Chains A and B, each alone.
Chain A
Amino acid sequence: MTEGPVDHLDPNWRNSEAEPDSFDFDAESEAQIAKILARYPEAKKASGVIPLLYVVQKQMGRQTGSAWVPRIAMDKVGERLGMAPIRVYEVATFYFMFNTKPIGRYHLQVCGTTPCMLRGSDDVLRACKDAGKLKGYGDTSEDGLFTLTEVECLGACVNAPILQVDDDYYEDLDYGRTVELIEALRRGERPAPGSTTGRQTSAPEGGPLTLLDVPMLEERGGN
C-alpha cells in the first residue's frame, strides 16, 4: 500500500460483471476437499475454510486462467462447511493471498521488504513493469497475462530479491534475469523455481564454503 492513500475500498469490489453465474467444485477439487475435511472433526469442519478457499482459487485458475475467489464460490464454501456466508467473506478478504478480484494468468508478487529492497527489489519491480507491460502495483496487463502485486516479506531473505510467481519462488534475481523469466512465462514456459543464479538452496554464492567435509555424513553414505 505504498502508492498513495487508500481512501476506501473500491465500491465495485464485488465485481458484479466478473462474477460467474455459478460455481461448482470439479472432481479434482472434490478429491482435495475430501482430504482436507478428513482432518477436522465434523463439528469443527469450519476450520477447513482457508484450505477450501485455496482449493477454489486453484480451481478458478485451472478453469479460467485467473486464480481468484468469486463471491458465489465463497457461498459454496460456506454451504459445504455449514458457515454463514459472511463468515467466509471475512476470512477471504482478510488474507491477501486470496484474490477477491480476477487477476492475470501469472501473479507476479514482488517482495519489497527491507532485505529484498537492499538487494535490488526495485530492479525486479522495474523489470516486471517493463517486461510485463504493467503500470504498477495492482495493475493487470492488457493481454491478461500478468498481475503485479507488492507483498511483504516472503521469508526467503537469504536469496533476496525474490519474485513469487503464483506459488513458486524465483530467487537471486536482477533486472535481466527477471525480464528473461517473464518472457519465458509469456511463451508459456515455467522455468524451474529456485535460485536463478544456480546456487544450491541458500548456500553462499559460488558454492559452499563451510562443512566441506563432514565425516559423519560420508559414513552414513549421505551427500
Chain B
Amino acid sequence: MSDVKLIKVTVDGEEVEVPLGATALQAAEQAGKEIPRFCYHERLSIAGNCRMCLVEVEKAPKPVASCAFPVMDGMKIITDSPVVRNARRGVMEFLLINHPLDCPICDQGGECDLQDQAMAYGGDHSRYHEHKRSVTDKYLGPLIKTIMTRCIQCTRCVRFATEIAGVPELGAVGRGEALEITTYVEKALSTELSGNLIDICPVGALTSRPYAYMYRPWELAKTDSVDVLDATGTNIRVDSRGPDVIRILPRVHEEVNEEWMADRGRFSFDALKKRRLDRPWVRQDGKLRPVSWPEAFAAIAARLKGVSGDRIGAVAGGLADAESMVALKDLMAALGSANLDCREDGAALDGSERAFYLFNSTIAGIDHADAVLLIGGNPRVEAPVLNARIRRRAMARVPVGVIGAEANLTYPATQLGDGPDALRGVLEGAFGDVLRNAKRPLILLSRAALARPDGAAVLAATWALVRSLDAVTAEWNGFNLLHTQGGQVAALDLGFLPGQGGKDLGAMLGGGVDVLWLLGADGFDASLIAPGTFVIYQGHHGDRAAGRADVILPGATYLEKDGTYVSTEGRVQRGRRAVFPPGEAREDWRILRAASELLGHALPYDDLFAIRARLAEVNPVFSRVDEVPQPAAVSAAPAGEAAATGSAAFAPGITNYWQADVFGRASDVMAECARAQAPSPAMAAE
C-alpha cells in the first residue's frame, strides 16, 4: 500500500493521516469518532441517501454527508457541534415520521441501529400529525420476514443483493412517499446468502423468520464457534438459551468470511431437534432396541472378540471433528486395523502432500488472483461465501473460465467445456493465453470432480496444469481444491486414509470387513454395505446409515461439542460447545475413549488438552490455530496418470444446496427453502 498517497485531515482538532480518496466518514473513524449511519456499509457501494452521517466541514456552507464526501489535504472536519447535532436531529425526525412505534414487538429491538441512534438524536415527542404511511409486506422467501412499514429506504439490501450476492432481484420501485423495496414479482430471493440481508438491515424491516418473536438478543448466551456445513470455515456466533440454539450469526473474520454467512449454516440448526439419536441402540433379532451405554459397548466388545484387525474398518463422515477422528484412528490402530477412510464420496484425494488437498491460494488470496478457472463444480452452492469473493474478482474484470456443468455462478464466466477433455486442452484454447499471461492464476478444482472413476487422473491433470503455468511457487500456489464439508481437511491432515495394506471405502463396503465403524458417515449409499457386516454407527442424526446399523452410539453435533476443524484452505479453527447434546448423547471423542477402555485398548488421553496434544503430535498443523499454510514450492505430483482421464462430462456436485447434508435433510426450514427455490410452474405463474 506504499503507493497510496497519504494526506492530513483534521477531525475535531485531531490530525489524522488517511489515504487520498478516503471519505470524511473514514477519516472520522480513523480519528476514533463514531459517525451515526444507516445506509453506509463499508462493504457495499456508497448510496448517501439516509443523511444520518452529516458532519460539518470547514468552509462548507452546510453540513455534508460524510459517507460520500471525499477528503482533501488539510480539510477540517467537525463531527460534533451544535450544527451537526441539530442536522442529525432533523434527519432523525424525518426518518421517524413514517417509522412505526412498534419497538416492543419488533425483533430488531435491542440490536436496532435506528433505536440506538434515536436514543442519541431522537426527540421526545413527534411533531408530525398527518397520516403515517404503511407499506405492504413482501415475500422474500422462507428465511426472511418482512415488515416493510419499518423500512427507512437505506437500500442496503438492494445493494447487497446486487453487489455481493449477485442476484439483482431487489429494487426500490416508486418514488417519494410511495417508494418501496420489493422484488416487484413476488418470489423468494434466489441466493444462498439471503440471511445476510437480516444482518445488514439497520431496522426491523428484514428479520429472521425462524427467529421471529423468540427472544431479545440480551437474553441469549453467545458462543463463538465455526461453521462446518461447508468447508469455508465461516466464523460464527451461536446464540443459545438453555438447551436450545436460537440463532446463528456470522462473526467478522476478514480472511475467511468477512462478515457474511451462507444460509444452510445459518438456518439449518433446527435439525438439532429433529431425527436425533439421543440414546444407544442395539439390533437384536433384526430390530433396534434402546439400551444403556454399557450394553451398547458390551455388544460391540462381544462382536469384536476374535475378529482380526484387518477385518475391522472405520469411515469418518464429512462433519466429524478432528478430536473424534484421531481417537477413532488410534482405536483402530490399537485393534490392528489400517482400514480407514474419510472419503465417503469416493473422491480420489491424495493425502501424501498437504498442497494436494488444500485451497492453497487461500480464501483471502482470491482477492489477488488475476485469472480464475473453475473445474467440475459450482462454488456458488459448494461454498457460497467463497463464491462471493470470486464474484468480486470477476466484477473487477478478472476472467473466469468454467469447465463443467453450466450453472448460474452470479458472475460472467466463459464456458470452456464440460469434461476432462476440455481440462487437458484448456491451454490450447483462447483461455490458455489468459492463464499463461496471469501472474497469479487460481485453478479451483471442485471435490465433486474427483468423485468419479477417473478422479485420480483429473487431480493429476489439474495439478499438471497448475505446474505448467508455473503457479506452484513460494509466492503463489494456484492449485485449489474446494471441499464441501468442514471436517474433511482435518481427516486428511490426520491421515484418515487406508494405511499400509488397508482397505478403502469401496473395499470395506463390499464385504472387505466384518465390523464397520461409521463416525457420522452418511454420505454414501448404506445399502451398499455387505449383508454380513456388523455396523457400528456413531453419529447424531438418524439419517441414511443409522437405519443399517447394528449398534448406534449417539454423538454430538458440531454445535454441541468442543471440536477442531480445518477449513478447505487449511486453517485450523476451534468450534465451541454452545448447547449440550440431547439425552444420552455424548461428545464423540469421549464415546470412543470410553469404548476403547471396554475393548481393552484404553486410549491415553482423558481430557480435551490431552487429546489436542495428541492431535498436534499426529500433525503439527493442529498446534497452529487460525493460521493458513504459506505457499511453498512442491516438486512432487499427485499419484494418478494425467492422461487417463475419461470423457464423461463433470456432473454438478451439489444439486440441492439446501438439503446437501445431514443437517439440511433433517431441517424443516431447509425443506421449505428447497420447496421455495425449486423451479415450479405454480410459483412462476404467481
Rounded to whole angstroms, the CA-CA distance of A96 and B173 in the bound complex is 12
Q: Is the pair B168, A87 in contact by a Cβ cutoff of 8 Å? A: yes
Q: Is the pair B134, A8 in contact by a Cβ cutoff of 8 Å? A: yes
Whether, in the assembled complex, B213 has its beta carbon less than 8 Å from a beta carbon of chain A, the answer is: no
Q: Given A6-B178, A71-B185 in contact, is the A86-B168 Cβ separation under 8 Å?
A: yes
Rounded to whole angstroms, the CA-CA distance of A96 and B172 in the bound complex is 15
CB-defined interface of A1-14 with B at 8 Å, one 1/0 digit per residue? 10001111101001
What secondary structure prevails in chain A residues at the interface with B? loop
Q: Is the pair A5, B173 in contact by a Cβ cutoff of 8 Å? A: no
Q: A87's contact among B171, B174, B185, by CB below 8 Å, is which?
A: B171
Q: Is the pair B171, A90 in contact by a Cβ cutoff of 8 Å? A: yes
Q: Given A6-B177, A93-B173 in contact, is the A86-B135 Cβ separation under 8 Å?
A: no
Q: A7's contact among B133, B171, B172, B185, by CB below 8 Å, is which?
A: B133
Rounded to whole angstroms, the CA-CA distance of A184 and B183 in the bound complex is 43
Within 8 A of B (CB), among A65-88: 71, 84-87
Q: Is the pair A5, B185 in contact by a Cβ cutoff of 8 Å? A: no
Q: Is the pair B184, A85 in contact by a Cβ cutoff of 8 Å? A: yes
Q: Is the pair A86, B183 in contact by a Cβ cutoff of 8 Å? A: yes
Q: Is the pair B169, A9 in contact by a Cβ cutoff of 8 Å? A: no
Residues of A within 8 A of B172 (CB): 90
Residues of A within 8 A of B168 (CB): 84, 86-87
Q: Is the pair A86, B133 in contact by a Cβ cutoff of 8 Å? A: no
Q: Given A5-B130, A9-B178 in contact, is the A90-B136 Cβ separation under 8 Å?
A: no
CB A135 to nearest CB in B, in angstroms, measures 21
Q: A9's contact among B131, B162, B174, B183, by CB below 8 Å, is which?
A: B174
Rounded to whole angstroms, the CA-CA distance of A186 and B22 in the bound complex is 62
Whether, in the assembled complex, B560 has its beta carbon less than 8 Å from a beta carbon of chain A, the answer is: no
Within 8 A of B (CB), among A1-57: 1, 5-9, 11, 14
**B interface residues, Cβ below 8 angstroms from A:** 130-131, 133-136, 162, 168-175, 177-178, 180, 183-185
CB-defined interface of A79-119 with B at 8 Å, one 1/0 digit per residue? 00000111101100111100000000000000000000000
By beta carbon, the residue of chain B nearest A11 is B136
By beta carbon, the residue of chain B nearest A5 is B131
Q: B170's contact among A7, A11, A71, A86, by CB below 8 Å, is which?
A: A86
Residues of B within 8 A of A85 (CB): 184-185
CB A2 to nearest CB in B, in angstroms, measures 13
**A interface residues, Cβ below 8 angstroms from B:** 1, 5-9, 11, 14, 71, 84-87, 89-90, 93-96
9 extra interface residue pairs, beta carbon distance < 8 Å, beyond A7-B133, A87-B168: A5-B131, A5-B133, A8-B134, A8-B135, A8-B180, A9-B178, A9-B180, A93-B175, A94-B173
CB A28 to nearest CB in B, in angstroms, measures 28
Q: Is the pair B185, A14 in contact by a Cβ cutoff of 8 Å? A: yes
Q: Given A14-B185, A89-B184 in contact, is the A7-B134 Cβ separation under 8 Å?
A: yes
CB A133 to nearest CB in B, in angstroms, measures 28
Rounded to whole angstroms, the CA-CA distance of A1 and B133 in the bound complex is 13
CB B137 to nearest CB in A, in angstroms, measures 10
Q: Which of B135, B170, B173, B175 has the most CB of A within 10 A?
A: B173
Task: List 6 A-B pairs, minimum CB-CB distance, nearest first.
Answer: A84-B168, A5-B131, A86-B171, A93-B173, A89-B184, A90-B171
Rounded to whole angstroms, the CA-CA distance of A114 and B133 in the bound complex is 26
Q: Is the pair A86, B134 in contact by a Cβ cutoff of 8 Å? A: no
Q: Is the pair B169, A8 in contact by a Cβ cutoff of 8 Å? A: no
Residues of B within 8 A of A6 (CB): 133, 177-178
By beta carbon, the residue of chain B nearest A86 is B171
Residues of A within 8 A of B178 (CB): 6, 9
Q: Is the pair B183, A8 in contact by a Cβ cutoff of 8 Å? A: no
Q: Which of A1, A6, A71, A86 has the most CB of B within 10 A?
A: A86
Please list 30 pairs of residues, one from A and one from B, whose beta carbons are closer than 8 Å in the complex, sorted by A's number.
A1-B177, A5-B130, A6-B177, A6-B178, A8-B133, A8-B134, A8-B180, A9-B174, A9-B178, A11-B136, A14-B184, A14-B185, A71-B184, A71-B185, A84-B168, A84-B169, A85-B184, A85-B185, A86-B169, A86-B171, A86-B173, A86-B183, A87-B168, A87-B171, A89-B171, A90-B171, A90-B173, A93-B173, A93-B175, A95-B175
Q: Given A85-B184, A86-B183, A86-B184 in contact, is the A8-B136 Cβ separation under 8 Å?
A: yes
Q: Is the pair B175, A94 in contact by a Cβ cutoff of 8 Å? A: yes
Residues of B within 8 A of A7 (CB): 131, 133-134
Residues of A within 8 A of B169 (CB): 84, 86
By beta carbon, the residue of chain B nearest A95 is B175
By beta carbon, the residue of chain A nearest B186 is A14
Rounded to whole angstroms, the CA-CA distance of A71 and B182 in the bound complex is 14
Residues of A within 8 A of B170 (CB): 86
Q: Is the pair B174, A94 in contact by a Cβ cutoff of 8 Å? A: yes
By beta carbon, the residue of chain A nearest B148 is A8
Residues of B within 8 A of A71 (CB): 184-185
CB B163 to nearest CB in A, in angstroms, measures 12
Rounded to whole angstroms, the CA-CA distance of A86 and B186 in the bound complex is 11
CB B172 to nearest CB in A, in angstroms, measures 6
Residues of A within 8 A of B135 (CB): 8-9
Q: Which of A1, A11, A90, A95 has the most CB of B within 10 A?
A: A90
CB B286 to nearest CB in A, in angstroms, measures 57
Residues of A within 8 A of B180 (CB): 8-9
By beta carbon, the residue of chain A nearest B168 is A84
By beta carbon, the residue of chain A nearest B167 is A84
Residues of A within 8 A of B183 (CB): 86
Rounded to whole angstroms, the CA-CA distance of A30 and B600 in the bound complex is 84
Rounded to whole angstroms, the CA-CA distance of A5 and B98 in the bound complex is 13
CB B443 to nearest CB in A, in angstroms, measures 29
